[in-house]
Structure formats: structure tokens, C-alpha cells
Structure 1
């Protein structure tokens, strides 16, 4: 769904319109969920209902309509809003370009703040005041933020949609295949480039040279003012944009396993916390609230990285970013491996306590999970933010919403991948003894599963290094603008 939303935003609707439309759909979904808690005919059965009957058609219609509205709204909102925010910075202005690098950091600071509120305040409201009250708060909050966003429309910068961003990619492939038998030229004088000064031109790179044949001027003469057929002759910029898309694909695949590790934080980690001692001076922490530790770790790491580490790295390396994007992503992958190792050791300890005590709630404090959550937060600060910046920057300018959608799809597909991996591992281990996933968490061996993820992540990291060792980033022919600020 995010990929479809990103494509529509880039190709036809425009990001501002897509944000408004998807936000409205999202509010509608929240409104329906809220109505199911307060309107008697729509209200589902409660645990204490004596005359509870099976869900009726109206119950199912309301629930699934709300779910589909929320899915469609999220699919359009996520990729469009983040890319629209980054579009407010001018890439040709050095100070604004540096500001955009910080934008992705503080975008995630805001997400962390929202996550903390969600797993603490909203979890408390749901447990003590009911889902209806929580849904009402979320509906009103989302409605107000949509109105505030709309009121700011006179101050935004806009990028007009220019049709399908996939068509130029197909044109390059067709032109390259047509000219596949041409000899590769000894210099770039035979390469065609557009004279359009309104678009950002890309410099030629020597990777994927087969695609370069699409921009070789063969027998045709490109007259002044005459535009050749893009199915026969492409520009250097279009060829380089196609190369960017091709190079994004393997990075997307090697990022999936990092997403699998993240998925454990919202599933098995929470299940572990539900069996542990969560009392603090008589107050019981909701199991999901422990996830806030990862958000705090990510928030703290992002601020230190942006305010302390980046300025130092800029002075040392002389580069605007301090370190390359993919190097930042790789650092986070290392922390993810460390997090899985720590999680395995802590789970082994928890199983030893569970074997001794036989209680539903163990004496072992839930804060034993702090190290693995905190390390996960640090890894997220490097890898998740780095992937957002990578998928926005290293795709063609006309595909930036699609790029952010690709980032979102990493996490979405990783959750399916995690479920598939659990099923496979459970069946395989069950054939050679007891399954690693028993009827409850205390009869399972999650520690072994975490070790497996750590080993798989280490192998995946080795592949990642091979893919990124000599990576060619987007090379824009910049026209620097002096900032007036």
C-alpha cells in the first residue's frame, strides 16, 4: 500500500494533495473505530457481557471498513509526508542541504516522541479507561494535525507531478537493448544530454555500462531545438537515474534482516515482559510500555549524533554528511547483531528463573530487558534514519515518495519474513526434538532463535559490506545558490 501511495503522489496527485486525502481517510477510519465503542448497535461484545452473541454483519462491516481505511490512509500518508517535508529544503543551497540532513534525524525524534506517548500514556488510557476513550483521543488529535497542516499551505514548496516516473526507466532499458550491439565509445562526447536547465543533471558513472548504450548518439543527428524519441535515445541523466533504481534493489533486500530483528521488539520482547515483574512501588507497568526504552535510546542517539558526532566528522572527513549514508546504515546493523546476542543471553537467564519459580509472573525484573531495547534503539538511530535518507536521496528526483515507500516496505515485508521464519524454524526444530516455539513462552527457546538471528544478521552484514564497498552515490551537477539567510 505505501508503494501504491508513493507512486500516485509522485506521478499524478502531488504530495500535498496526497497527504490531505490520505489523512482524511485515516481520520475516517479512526472515527469508525471510535463509533464502534460508543454506539450500541456497533459496539462489540465485552468480556463481562452476559448476553454476548457472535459478531453480526454490521460488527464485521464496521471493523473491516475501519481497518481498510486505516491501511489506505497510512499507505498514502507515510511516504508522502516525509518526502514532502524533505522537499522544503533547496538542494542547491549548501546551508539548506545540511539542514535537510538534520531533518531526517529530527523527523525520527518526533516519531520517537509519538512512540513513547503511544506505549505509555495511550497504553495506560486503554487499560484504565477503555479503547473507546483512547480511540477518541487519537481521532481528535489526527483531525487537529490535519487541519494545522492544511492551514500552512501558503508557506510550502511544491513539486508538480510529471507523470509516471517508471516510464523513463523503461525507455532507457528499451533504448539500451536496441543498441546492445554498438561498441562502447572511448569518451563521453558520443553521449547525449538534455539542455533542460530546470532539472538537476547527473554526472556519468562507470557502473552498469550496458545501460550507457541508451544515450549513445548513433547515426541520428540531434538538431538544435529537436527532441529525439526517448525510446531510441535517452539522456545521460535518465540513464544514471535508471542505474540508481537498479542499485537500490540489492540494498533493499539486505535491509530486510535488520527489519526482522526490529520485529522482535514489538512481539517476543513484549511477550517476555508480560511474564516478568513490572511493579514499581505498587504501579504495574503495561507490558508494551517497556518498548519506550528503545525509543529513548534512539532519541538520545539521534540527538548526540546530529549535535556532537556529525560536526566532528565533518571537520575530520571534510564531507557534508560526516560519513556516507550506507556507512551509517552499516553501523546500525552492527548494533542490531549485538542486540540479538544480548537478547539471547537475557532470555537464557529468564528461562532459568522460570524453571525455578513456576509462577505466572516471575520475580525477575522487567528492566533486565533494558540493554537489548536500548541497543535496538541505537541501531535504529543509525540504520532506520540512514535508510530513510538513502531511499529519499539515492532515487531519481521524480521518485522520492516511492523511495520513502520502499523504506516503509522494508519494515512491512520484514514482519512477514519474521513470521515465515518462525514457522519454518518451529517446524524444523520440531522434527529433531522439541520445537523452539512451544505452547507458551516459558516452554519455548527464544534464546536459540535470537542466536540464529544474530548469526544470520552477521552473514547478511558481510554481504552488505560487499555490496556497498565501492558504491557510487548520486552525483549531481550542482548549481550552488548563496543563501540569503
Structure 2
């Protein structure tokens, strides 16, 4: 390791310094518009009335201040055009309500990555002559299920929609994952209740393979929701914003992980030194209620996104073909008119 570190230090002097071309980052523009709007919150809103009627406080980023000059305000990114503000509203901030519904999904994912595997320790992991079933089997079950579900959805969608998958189809895909999350919590709750019943009353450890259904459902949910989140993001924003899709998606899930810590701290009385004396089954039941309420909230938010008309849909191939035919007809009529003259 020491030799490798010395070689690394020696190679720094010969490092080729490449400076990428200076381009405006859409994310930087978003942060600057947010800062400009917050710093001018005391000013009166003088934007035209045909702006998007949501997040009106952002419109103050396009309000001109008394000083300095207009050119200076534009140069230092204190003054933005109404079109730039509307683009931020449409492309990113209007997705905040939808991202909020992913917090419960992140909470379930964090639970699956912790307590699901913790249950393995308190169950019978023998299989015939194998004294201990490796825990990686459950990782394979979840990962393979997610991969298969994701690829099946992609193949089905591409067979029906070669150009662009409609937004409502992607929202239904995510909604199906949200609904299955309730089922996953109920299954985990029932299995944990059964495990405790066998251990407390009969002093019997049930097989770890009882956990396969909840790992299967967790992988099924991830295949529907996680990849669907990125596709919804890509379909909602222009191409220049799509590079931030994985980052924003992972950010929403990481917030869900922090929410799981907060929930555990709030209900810390359910957890003791080991699972046999803890209320993990009660926690799973609570998580089922949270996922159910989140599913109802998602349905209302998804209905808004289906009906919203603040973004322009790409023209369909039929519309493009009709436009080309109309242009040919107009050109032909113009040529005939010139010949007649």
C-alpha cells in the first residue's frame, strides 16, 4: 500500500489537466433562482398574470430591484426572466409532492435492509446437511426479483409504445409498487407473529425460508418503484435535466432512510436487546398503516400529475406526418399558383 501511495503521489505531477468547456448547469440555475426569490421576498410581485399559479413566491426572482442596474442584476444572477422561473416550476419543483410519496417507500426499503436480515439470526437456518444457509440467498432472491420485474416492464412498455411511454402508465407502475408495499408489510407482520408464537409457546425455531415471501415482495416493489421513479423524472423534465435523475431519485430514498431512524427513535419502546423480546411485529403493522396512507396520498398526487397541463407533450408520429403532408400540399399549391401566373 505504501508503494502504491508513493506511485500515486508521483503521478500527480504528470496528471493531464483537462478543463471541460464552461456550460451553465441547470441545477446551479435552480439554486440561484431559489436564492434570488428568497432574497427578494419583501418585494411586491409584479409578474404577469399568465404564469403558472403554483409556487408564486418563486416569481419574485423575476422582479427587478431598484438598484443596481438591470444589466448588473442579470450579470450577478439576481434577476431572471419569467420563462426561466416557469421552467424551474415545471421541471423540478412541481415534482416535490410526488417525491414526498417516496419517503414511505424509502422507509420500507430501510426496514428491509435491516430488520429483514436481522430476523434470519433468530430462525432455523439449517437445510438438510447444510448446517447454515448463507444469508446471501435472500439478497439473490430480492435482487433477481427486482431485475426480472424491471426488465419485464421495460419489454412490455417498449412493445406497446416505441416512442415514449405515457406518463399515466409510469404512474400506474409506481402505484402498483406502492400497493404491494402494504402487502409486503402485512406478510412480514404475519410471519413475525408466527415466529414469536412458535418460539414463546413451543420453543421452536421456524425455518428461515419463511422469509422468502417478504424478500420476494420487496424485490418486486423495487423493480416497479425505483426504476419507475427515474422514468417519470426523465419524462417530466427536458433532456438537459435528465442527468440529475438518478441523483434526485437516490436523494429521495436517502431521506426515507433518515425518516426510518426518526420513526425508530419515536417508537424506541418497541425495540429491546433482541427480537424475541421486541415488538417487531407491531412495528411491521405500523409500517403497513403508513404505507397504506402513503398509497392513498400517492393516488391523489398521481391524479394531479395525469391531469396537469403545464408541460408540452412531444408531438406524436401521426401529428408529425400530418404536418409534413400539409406542408407538401401548401408547397404544391404555391407551385401551381406560380405556374398559372
Deviation readout 1:175-228 (Å, 9 max, x if unpaired):
89756145625xxxxxxxxxxxxxxxxxx85644665686699xxxxxxxx999
Q: How far, CA to CA, are the matches of 2:262 and 2:90 in structure 1?
A: 32
Larger-Rg structure: 2
Matched, 1:412 2:254: yes
Q: The residue matched to 1:279 in structure 2 has which SS? A: coil
User: Is 2:146 the partner of 1:298?
Assistant: yes
Aligned runs of 1:350-429 on 2, under 5 Å?
350-358=195-203, 362=205, 364-395=206-237, 399-427=241-269
Unaligned runs of 5+ residues in structure 1 are 1-30, 36-157, 186-203, 218-225, 428-435
SS in 2 for 1:257: helix
The alpha carbon displacement at 1:456 in A equals: 1.1
Partner of 2:279: 445
Q: Which moved more, 1:258-267 or 1:381-390?
A: 381-390
Residues in 1 aligned to 2:84 and 2:169: alpha-carbon distance in whole angstroms: 22
Q: Post-superposition shift, 1:397? A: 5.2
Q: How many residues align?
A: 288
RMSD over aligned CA atoms reads 3.8
Whether the aligned pair in 2 keeps the contact of 1:339 and 1:375 (CA below 8 Å) is yes
CA shift for structure 1 position 449? 0.8
Quote the residue 1:340 is aligned against: 185
TM-score if structure 2 supplies the norm length?
Answer: 0.70
1:238 positional shift: 4.1
Q: Cα offset for 1:343? A: 0.7
Given candidates 154, 162, 170, the residue that maps to 1:325 is 170
Deviation at 1:386, TM superposition (A): 1.6
Q: Alpha-carbon deviation of 1:365?
A: 1.9
Are residue 184 (structure 1) and residue 49 (structure 2) matched?
yes
Q: Which residue of 1 aligns with 2:119?
A: 272
Counterpart of 2:95 (choices 208, 232, 248) is 248
Instruction: Name the CA distance, whole Å, in 1 between partners of 2:216 and 2:232.
Output: 24
CA–CA distance in 1 between the matches of 2:117 and 2:123? Answer: 10
The alpha-carbon deviation at position 277 of structure 1 amounts to: 2.4
Q: How does 1:57-206 map to 2 (within 5 A)?
A: 161-163=23-25, 164-165=28-29, 166-171=31-36, 178=43, 180-181=45-46, 184=49
Unmatched 5+ stretches in structure 2: 5-19, 65-70, 321-341
* 8 A Cα contact 2:177 2:221, kept in partner: yes
Distance 1:281 1:373 in 2: 22
- 1:322–1:307 distance in 2 versus 1, CA, 3 Å: farther
Name the CA distance, whole Å, in 2 between partners of 1:474 and 1:400: 18
Cα distance in 1 for residues equivalent to 2:54 and 2:123: 53
User: Which residue in 2 is equivalent to 1:467?
Assistant: 301
Give the 3 Å change call, closer, same or farther, for CA 393–227 of structure 1 in structure 2: farther
Question: Per-residue CA shift, 1:323-364, capped at 9, x if unaligned?
Answer: 4433322221111111001110111111111124436xx2x2
Alpha-carbon distance between aligned partners in 2 of 1:336 and 1:159, rounded to the nearest angstrom:
45
Aligned-residue offset at 1:455: 0.4
* Distance change in 2, residues 1:473/1:383 (3 Å): farther
Distance 1:172 1:248, change over 3 A: same
Q: Could you tell me how far 1:322 is from its partner in structure 2? A: 7.0
Query: Are the counterparts in 1 of residues 167 and 232 from structure 2 also a CA contact under 8 Å?
Result: no
Report what 1:289 is aligned to: 137
